[in-house]
Amino acid sequence: MSAAAHDVSTDAVQETLRPVIEVQNLRKVYGGVPALDGVDLQVRPGEVVAVLGPSGSGKSTLVRCIDQLEEIDGGAVFLDGELLGYEQTPGGLRPLSERGRRDQRRLMSMVFQQFNLFPHWTVLRNVMEAPVQVHGLSRDQARQKAVQLLERVGLAEKVLAYPRHLSGGQQQRVAIARAVAVDPRVLLFDEPTSALDPELIGEVLQTIKDLAAGNRTMIVVTHELEFAREVADRCVFMADGRLIEDRPPEEFFTDPRSERLQAFLPRSHGGSGQERS
């Protein structure tokens, strides 16, 4: 466990600094092969954590396990100190009911690489349906809020369009609005720009930056090093299902400790610090 993380956990009396997400020794196995091999991670309120690493290192698996889209095989994940997916019963630790898991899931939101908008619903309905169905807002309240959010991501004129009429970048901005609409405790991003044409990446990254500035807790899996460096409070590096570096972005990029990370970062990122921007 890194020194920074240690400081905070000993200081746990301060309720406000309790981690929003705490991952302890998380393990996930696919067909005998570990995809996550004992991952520890803490994310404090308002913190933006960028997850970097080569393909197949377990980044997607990590965020999917946090969001309970995958069953975990070992370790534990806590949200605001509450164990996710399991409960202590007199008969020992048992999986939580479907309903219990749902109640925990609604506190988190996820933005996917492939957007995963609901194609049979308009943009507006995509954004307002979860607040109505899951969080009990009235349709009017939800609509108002959705329109506001869509304005904020620059899609005010598209509220009544169907997703397929939008560009990839616009679809992803809708997906971000949809994720934010439920006021999640933590926002998870799994390579939000990897499926986009290069000229559309910028607008989506800008949307995420704006969110990050608004004091939201976020875990962002990304291949955009520039973006990670600029937006993240901490960068973590994964390789072979392990989290092998967890540092503030400046150190992460200028002084990588592990050889794996040194090999992963392109030359331009080491040393000098002169960057395109």
Partner 1 sequence: MSLMTQQSSEQIDVSQARGRVSWSRILGTVVLSLITLGVLWFVITNERFEWPVVWEYLFNPSVLLGLMMSLFLTVTAMTLGTMLGVVLAAGQLSDYWPYRWACIIFVGFFRGVPPLVQLIFWYNLAYLLPRISVTLPGDREVVGWSTNDLITPLTAAVIGLSLHQSAYMAEIIRAGLLSVDRGQHDAASAMGFSRWNTFSRIVLPQAMRVIIPPSGSQIIALLKGTSLVSVIAMGDLLHAVQVIYNRTYDVVPMLLVAVIWYLVVVTLLTLVQRRIEEHFGRGDAQSRVRAVSGKESTT
Binding region for ligand ATP (CB under 6 A)? 30, 35, 53, 55-61, 191
Tell me the C-alpha distance between 158 and 204, whole Å: 16
Q: Does 178 bind partner 1 (CB under 8 A)?
A: yes
Q: Least Å distance between CB 133 and partner 1? A: 6
The nearest distance, CB 123 to ligand ATP, in angstroms, is 27
Establish if 189 lies at the interface with partner 1 (CB under 8 A): no
Give min distance, CB of 67 to Mg ion, in A.
Answer: 13
Beta-carbon contacts of residue 92 (< 8 Å; ≥ 6 apart): none
Contact yes or no for 262/270 (Cβ under 8 A): yes
In the complex, the smallest distance separating the C-beta of residue 57 from Mg ion, rounded to whole angstroms, is 9
Q: Closer to ligand ATP by CB, 37 or 233: give it.
A: 37
Q: Using CA atoms, how far apart are residues 183 and 5, in angstroms rounded to an integer?
A: 26
Alpha helices (H) in 78-166, listed in sequence order:
98-105, 123-133, 139-152
Contacts of 276 (CB under 8 A, 6+ apart): 226
> Residue 61's binding partner, choosing from ligand ATP, partner 1, Mg ion, none, with beta-carbon cut-off 5 to 8 A by kind?
ligand ATP
Q: Within 13 A of 9's CA, how many CA atoms are on the CB side? A: 15
Query: CA-CA distance, 103 to 100, in Å (whole number)?
Result: 5
262 binds, among ligand ATP, partner 1, Mg ion, none (CB under 5 to 8 A by kind): none
Q: How is residue 96 annotated by DSSP?
A: P
Interface residues for partner 1 in 86-125 (CB under 8 A)? Answer: 98-99, 102-103, 105-106, 108-110, 112, 114, 116-121
Which tokens is 55 given? 């393909």
Q: Which stretch binds Mg ion (CB under 5 A): 58-66, 120-128, 134-142, 172-180?
A: 58-66
**Cβ contacts of 263 within 8 Å, gap of 6 or more:** none
Residue in 60, 109, 193, 207 binding Mg ion, rule: CB under 5 A: 60
Q: Name which of residues 138 to 177 contact partner 1 (CB under 8 A).
A: 162-164
Residues that bind partner 1 (CB under 8 A): 64, 67, 69, 98-99, 102-103, 105-106, 108-110, 112, 114, 116-121, 129-130, 133-134, 162-164, 178, 182
